[in-house]
Structure 1
Amino acid sequence: MTVNLMWFRNDLRIHDNIALYAACKKKEANVLSIFIATPQKWKKNFMSFKKSEYIYKNLLMLQKNIMKIGIPLYFYESKNSFTSVKFLINFCQKNKVNSIFYNDQYETNEIKRDFLTKKMLEKENISVRTFHDATLISPDKIYKKNGQSYNNFSFFKKNIIKKIQRKLPQSFPVPDIRPFLKIKTYAIKFSYPRENIDENLFPIGEHSALNKLSFFIDKQINKYELEHNFPNVNCTSFLSASLSIGILSSRQCIKLLLKKKIYKNKININECKWLNELIWREFYKYILVKYPTLIQCKSKYNLENKITWNNNKKNLIAWKEGRTGYPIVDAGMRQLNELGWMHNRIRMITASFLVKDLLINWREGEKYFISKLIDGDTAINNGNWRWIASIGYGSNPYFRIFNPIYQAKKFDKEGYFVKKYIPELRMVPNLYIFNPHLWSQKIGKKINYPFPIVDHEKTKKNVITVFKLAKLLSLKENNLK
């Protein structure tokens, strides 16, 4: 009897899972599945405790769902990548596995692990079948006319949209129920710390995620263009956590969007703002594949190494704890610390403040975000921080600096978002909410809220000077090589 093994990684779903579908294609095959937890690697990568809880609960749900189609889900906790591979070999030998199936991952360490896995398994005459599943289109199929890789988002987006319009990526149904129904339940236990999550915002399981996707497209997406930048308006999809661990696929998102909206002529594929956000996700994963050194502490033109960063630990702690004296920044950081999630506009404002106001190395922010985010994703977190720090591909120009007071007045005019996360400012009138100390001085009453730790206008001039000099030094160095 043929025995196939499905190795779940960042794809915790049975709907539209290419590797799982392929593993189940032969009806007469016995199919097993496994998930290998790697707490030491998670710790090294600063994975958040909330994401650990989210993975754990979704694994339990996956185990229930996959049992219904006659497939057991085994669980193993490994010390490192090498012990993962050794365990897989022993598992395959013990269970007489003929072929192992899994979807590709694109992070550098995962690529090395998979190379080692394939090499060692094939030595044991165990077939290894891998699939592209993480993005709409395989990175190897996206390139310029001259065959080179993209480093500009706009051109990349045009290419993606052309391909989507020409032919939608294929989706795969849930595999048929297997004939082998004598299934045991295998215990799933994490040694990695877990932290409670808000399941109303981040419901568990792919069924809930699909319902959330459908509701967003039916009820909210028509308002997305106008309202998605306002943190107090519930107009975001809240699907980033589901996408980050593969409870949803990007194909499911795009196909449901086009099915419900394009078909009814209610949306233009070239103008859809939410589609634009999905394609940014695609772009950062593409960049990770094409330019892997960007994840290895290197940057374009070596610009980063020419910047004289400010190593003020006191300011870094104030930023992390939401005590900078800039209400919109502090509210955002407190939202992150409380929910493990932050509104996209606020992510840009808080990140810009760290890099362009405090002049603190963006890698400190990248590390802190990933340590807190329930939707933490290496490629996307790295790409977004490079964008705000003006050192990545398709980045924000270095002289574009978010003014935290102007941004607050524009996107949280009434101060609802600020007052939700900063209770000590709830008594402050809306007119003074972004300059609360002016109000406290006016009425002669102190408030328990810090004064601004920096002057934005002064730091802006200094940052522009620092980045301009760094750019000149970097270009000069590259011209000399």
Structure 2
Amino acid sequence: MNTEPQLSTITGHALVWLRADLRVTDNTALNRAIASGLPIIAVYIATPMQWYQHYVSGRQIDLIERRLQVVKQQFNDINIPLLILEGDDFSAATDIILNLCQQYQINAVYCNRQYGWNEKQRDRAVEHALLMQNKQWYCSDDFCVLPPGSVVTKQQQMYKVFTPYRNAWLTQFLMHNYQPVTNSDTVTPSAQCADLLAGNIDANCNLQTFNYLKQDSVLWPVDEGTIQQRLQMFCETKAEYYQQQRDFPAIDGTSCLSPYLAIGALSARQCLASLLQTLPQCVEINKDNGAFVWLSEVVWREFYNHLLDSDERLSKNQPFQLYTDNVQWLENSDHVHAWQQGQTGFPLVDAAMRQLATTGWMHNRLRMITASFLTKDMLCDWRIGEQWFMQQLIDGELASNNGGWQWAASTGTDAQPYFRVFNPTTQSERFDPKGEFIRQWIPELESVPDKYIHAPSLWSGFGSVNYPLPIVDHKQMRLLAIESYKQAKTEYDNQREA
């Protein structure tokens, strides 16, 4: 139900249910609740068993936990108590929300929509239960700048290829005002919840730590000032040169804002507003325009989320290209383990995987290289890599992670066919020419001359280096991968004709 209530028709309290939107500023659900005029209570529901089922990394959960303490104080400053509760999984949400409605006389629930299939099922169940008790449900689009379903072809279908999608996205973006809404633009909530803040909230509603195996996320500050400063500094000092620097992992040329976007500590609207204010030319289509290239990365995020919303298969471990279900993947657990541990014998692949294991983050160019290596050089099922990344990434997010892996595996929406196979050695030579990034993460290669840093096994002194030989022959595996995909497509086409 999306119709905004009249102030006179609803009494009691409003509940703002936080999910992947851990911020006070530019939060659509919060702003709609404030506009209702009702005193507001906010809630965040931790679901550890669901997180395990979704392979959410311990670093991301630690980041969420730390960020919630900041958001709790921000809500407190505007007279809104934030309750932090825990249920096993999404199925627990219905009872938790209904109990809160009864306990605190809540008659309207506000939240921001999520696009995964499990999340949609959870929200349908909660909405149905609320409507059965004559409660109001208001679910807004907030995770994307343009809501899913708003950027479609003339046939009202979701775009399958990025570039025409981006062109249509830009046309619509420029036609409307998608500026962030700050709290100064809204009515400050009244202090009618002061009695709740004063101690009437149940002690069980102040959960301090989640029942989840966490890893330290201290590399990522969670205070509002630092997050906003990082966005502003990127727009002012790096965005202009993003196109020239973004592919070189030894250069600090990317925004590193993805963890904040993933948990909603920062909105995509805020990112684009800051970029437009600093570099207005960012909307001009030009592949040499660094600001436009970064804007395109934000649009890629929109593309993958719109796809996730439109096709439930993407939430269910299924490929977008149906014929790729017939690819005969190789099952080699030793090779998978070597890839996970950064011991493949291909230095840039290994350096990237060690960066991921140590920090929970990986440079975007390296995400493409390591994913291509797993799916093409190892001919390993992309879903194994997708799961491993989710378990490690501090910025893990279903739509982007799935979209990236399916792109690398040639199973997703892509204009490029299956015979695109990255050569890990030439990628290394091109994007880490002096081996600076490699040596940072693989200290055992410190003594290897620059000439051999990308293929150290060819160096005469390799015997003294504690580093593995390459686990695969790239040329052979490239041919095998192409043939495997070709056979899968032929088999699929024959099945359709039969």
Q: TM-score range by the shorter chain?
A: over 0.9
1:154 to 2:163 alignment: yes
**Counterpart of 1:251 in structure 2: which amino acid?**
R
Q: TM-score, normalised by structure 2?
A: 0.92
Mapping for residues 358-373 of structure 1, pairs under 5 Å: 358-373=378-393
Task: Describe the shift of the 1:395–1:42 C-alpha distance in structure 2 as closer, same or farther (beyond 3 A).
Answer: farther
Query: For the residues of structure 2 that align with 1:89 and 1:426, how far apart are their CA atoms?
Result: 60
The answer to whether 1:178 aligns with 2:189 is yes
Greater shift after overlay, 410-419 or 145-154? 145-154
In structure 2, how many angstroms separate the alpha carbons of the residues matched to 1:269 and 1:15?
30
Q: Could you tell me the TM-score, scaled by structure 1's length?
A: 0.95
Partner of 1:78: 87
Return the offset for 1:472. 1.3
Which residue is equivalent to 1:119?
Answer: 128
Superposition pairs for residues 278-357 of structure 1, below 5 Å? 278-357=298-377
SS at match of 1:459: helix
CA distance in 1, matches of 2:198, 2:327: 57
48-57 or 140-149: bigger deviation: 140-149
**Whole-Å separation in 2 of the counterparts to 1:456 and 1:339:** 28
Q: Cα gap change, 1:305/1:193 in structure 2, threshold over 3 Å: closer, same or farther? A: same
**For the Cα contact (< 8 Å) 1:388–1:395, is it kept in 2?**
no
Aligned to 2:405: 385
Q: Unaligned regions of 5+ residues in structure 2, if any?
A: 1-10, 200-205
Contact persistence 2:18–2:43 (CA under 8 A): yes
Report SS of the residue matched to 1:33: strand
Is the Cα contact below 8 Å between 1:37 and 1:76 reproduced in 2? yes
Contact kept, 8 Å, 1:325 with 1:451, in 2: the verdict is: yes
Equivalence for 2:106: 97
Q: What amino acid is aligned across from residue 179 of structure 1 in structure 2?
A: S
Select the residue among 232, 238, 247 that pairs with 2:250: 232
Moved more, 61-70 or 387-396: 387-396
Report the CA distance between 1:66 and its aligned residue: 1.0
Change (3 A) 1:358 1:31: same
Query: Which residue does 2:457 correspond to in 1?
Result: 437
> What residue is the counterpart of 1:268 in the other structure?
284
- Matched residue of 1:318: which SS? helix
Compute the displacement of 1:73 (Å).
0.3
Could you say what secondary structure the match of 1:32 adopts?
strand
| Partner in structure 1 of residue 241 of structure 2 | 223
Write the distance in 2 (CA, Å) between the matches of 1:294 and 1:129.
Answer: 26
Q: Indicate the SS of the match to 1:98.
A: strand
Residue type of the alignment partner of 2:250: N
Would the aligned equivalents of 1:205 and 1:247 in 2 still touch at CA under 8 Å?
no
Give the AA of the match of 1:166.
Answer: M
- Give the share of equivalent positions with the same residue, in percent: 35
Write the distance in 2 (CA, Å) between the matches of 1:76 and 1:353.
41
Residues 163 and 222 of structure 1, relative CA distance in 2, 3 Å threshold: same
Q: Is the 8 A contact 1:349 1:407 kept in 2?
A: yes
Q: Distance between the aligned counterparts of 1:256 and 1:120, measured in 2?
A: 40
Aligned-partner residue type, residue 357 of structure 1: D
Give the secondary structure class of the aligned counterpart of 2:238: helix
Partner of 2:227: 209
Unpaired runs of 5+ residues, structure 1, are none
Tell me which residue corresponds to 1:40: 49
The 1-side partners of 2:302 and 2:457 are apart by: 43
SS in 1 for 2:217: coil
Structure 1's 394 and 133: CA in aligned 2 closer, same or farther, altered over 3 A? same
Deviation readout 1:344-393 (Å, 9 max, x if unpaired) = 00000000000000011010000000000000001111111100110111
Match of 2:396 in 1: 376
Secondary structure class of the residue paired with 1:222: helix
Which residue of the partner structure matches residue 190 of structure 1? 210
Distance 1:340 1:470, change over 3 A: same
The CA distance in 2 between the partners of 1:419 and 1:444, in whole Å, is: 15
1:13-92 correspondence runs (5 A):
13-27=23-37, 29-92=38-101
Distance 2:131 2:208 in 1: 28
